[in-house]
Amino acid sequence: MDIDKLFKVPKIPTGGSKRRMPDAPPPEMLKKMRLASESTPLVTSLEPPSSSTAPSKRVATVQDADDDDDVVGPTAGENFAPGNDPDYFAEEDEDGRFFGGGLTNEQKEILNIFDNAGTEQVPDDSEMLSSSGIKKLLLRLERAANKNQAQRTKYPDDPTKFIDSEADLDTAIKALLPLAQVPNVAYPLLVGSGQLEALVGLLSHENADIALDVIELIHELTDEDVGEEDEDEDEDPEQREAALKSLTSALLDLSILELLVDNMTRLTEAEEADRQGIYHVLGIFENFVGSQPPLAERLVLKTKLLPWLLNRTQSKTHDENRSYSAELLSILLQGSQPNRLELGKRDGVEMLLNVASQFRRRDPANADEAEFMENVFDSLCSALAESEIKDLFLKSEGVDLMVLMMKDKMQARSRAVKALDHAMSGSAGTEACKVFVEASGLKYLFNAFMGKPLKRPKNATQFSAPEDTTHTLGILSSLFTNLPSDSPARIRLLAKFVENNYEKTDKLLDIRTSAQTRLTAVEREIDAEKEALLKAAEEIGGEEEDAWYLRRLEGGLYTLQTVDYILAWIIMEDDGIRDHVRQMLNRRNKSFLDVVSTLRIFRDNIDEGELNTSEGISQREILQHLIAFSESC
């Protein structure tokens, strides 16, 4: 990502309604300012003036400079030249060429006068960010906004009358950016002063540059890391969070989200300033949803943000805003069922599949585009949690597209496997399982299952091989759950574990051994923690048990459960596979009882009625039948 593009580049004044530099002071004013600033004359009088009324003759001489003093200009010791340029006062030669600072005498006089006029009046950061300094900044903003509004109302057709006040307003808004460094002090003052409402009102300002200034300011003020750069040791993080929450609540009361979405249609990304403005708007939405997740539904259901994001991700040219749009879309869909259903109503599934298809025959050009591709697939996978979206995915030929991506073996193959895992799970995925087998998906699925991890360039987002294996196992699990018994599709699936001398079955057992090894290490850690708690006479409650179970799942138990679920199916449906698995387990000092033990843990931790099949049998009932058969072997 190009960091330079994240910051707003100041516009060059071009006249009209743009900001312009103030006019230079007239020569008469410069003369007066120069006379007032002169201190040590170069010509001194050796004879004091006579005290009589009659004029006296005075003799004046020029002081001799030291022989070794070659400095042209003020006497030594004076810090007169801007930047201490030793050639600042060098004269031009007779041909008009200069060897000094390259400025005319008039320009030098102007710079010297401003140099002596008073850098001492600029307040330091501590003074500006104090309570009194912040109040001055807010008062300055109020006056600038009122003056600009008054002049725009009085001279609506003459921009030259209000351009100076507009420049002052721009400066006053940007002067509030440092308030993010001291949220504990600044935010209560900003909310209580009434200027927050004035700021939000400026989003509708006739000059889009003023609205962009406000957007940048709100983005900075609502960042979740405000105040952490210069964090004081004595500062209370909870107090900082409370200050940020008060600010965001006040902004929400002013309908900030709706106003920002309306402003997005006003901006044209062909211009750099507007493009960065869009980036800041997306950042504001992420800040709000990150601090208050329920706001995701307000953004999707109460504004026109979702259609905008979907259209933006379909852009043929990739840039930061396209990538950010896909990321924000993924966030909005992640934990909200209403948002996922709204995506289906907006034809979002078809749009996401169109974007994903761009990576069927080519890999992302760089890491940023690889992240964009991942966010598109993550959005699709989140939406596939709903049965309605699975139907739309099937109607849009999403299963066929994912199978083709698996065939082409580009970087998108891993994401296609993940999408299929979500699309084929549960009873709503039964039809997708049938279509998958009909589309020759088994061939490419087992190629991925048996083959080496896909090689990826260094600049690509890295997807772990264990993650690919997990989703492949998930697809196999869904196929055994959803494909009808004795159907041609199920027979084809079972035959895959028999062909080539049971090589797929052996691969399944190898994955089981690897998962068991990882799980054993995690269980040792958990046992040590339990022992430490018991020695400390602390009770082990349900929260601790739940946390340990999640650690086991992440540490290999989930993979082990899925593998043993598949093993239980294939040993129940084929005698040859059963004998082979028994033999291979014996070589590892294992038996079917180890499979049964895993399935019992799986059954005991599954919700009643979860993952019902198309035949109306719950997942718990299926597990109970598999356990009973495996025990009898």
pLDDT in tens, 85-140: 555 555 555 555 445 556 666 666 666 655 555 444 445 555 677 888 999 999 99
Q: How far apart are CA 82 and CA 102, in angstroms?
A: 13
Q: Which two tokens stand for residue 599?
A: 């399935």
Percentage of the chain modeled with pLDDT above 70: 75
CA distances for 490 relative to 230, 416, 469, 482, angstroms: 63, 22, 21, 9
Model pLDDT for residues 578-628, shown as the tens digit of each residue: 999 999 999 999 999 999 999 999 999 887 655 455 556 888 999 999 999
CA 407/CA 575 separation, integer angstroms: 32
What are the residues facing 45 on neighbouring strands? 60
Per-residue DSSP letter, 224? T
User: In the structure encoding, which two tokens stand for residue 214, read together?
Assistant: 């406000």
Q: How far apart are alpha carbons 82 and 100 in whole angstroms?
A: 12
Check whether 380 has a pLDDT greater than 80: yes
Among left, alpha and beta (phi > 0; psi -120 to 50; other), residue 76 is beta
pLDDT digits (tens, 9 = 90+) for 416-454: 999 999 999 999 999 999 999 999 999 999 998 987 554
Determine which of 63-72, 361-370, 421-430, 502-511 has the lowest per-residue pLDDT on average.
Answer: 63-72
Q: Which residue, among 202, 218, 193, has the nearest Cα to 152 in the 3D structure?
A: 202
User: Residue 44's beta-bridge partner residues?
Assistant: 61
51 pLDDT more than 90 = no
Q: Please tell me the predicted confidence (pLDDT) of residue 164.
A: 92
Range 458-478 average pLDDT: 74
**What single DSSP character describes residue 44?**
E
Which residue, chain included where needed, has tokens 């974007």? 355
Q: How confident is the model at residue 66 (pLDDT cuts 50, 70, 90)?
A: very low
pLDDT of residue 400: 96
Q: Please state the rounded mean pLDDT for residues 274-286.
A: 96
Q: What is the pLDDT of residue 240?
A: 86
CB within 8 A of 340, min separation 6: which ones?
Answer: 333, 382, 383, 385, 386, 389
Q: Which two tokens stand for residue 35?
A: 């006379």
Structure tokens at 124: 């330091």
Q: Is the CB of residue 408 less than 8 Å from the CB of residue 361? A: yes
In this prediction the pTM is: 0.76
Q: What is the band of 633 on the pLDDT scale with cuts at 50, 70, 90? A: confident
| DSSP 8-state assignment for residue 22 | P
Reported as half-sphere exposure (CB side, CA atoms, 13 A), residue 277 has a value of: 24
Interval 189-229: pLDDT, tens: 999 998 999 999 999 999 999 999 999 999 999 998 876 66
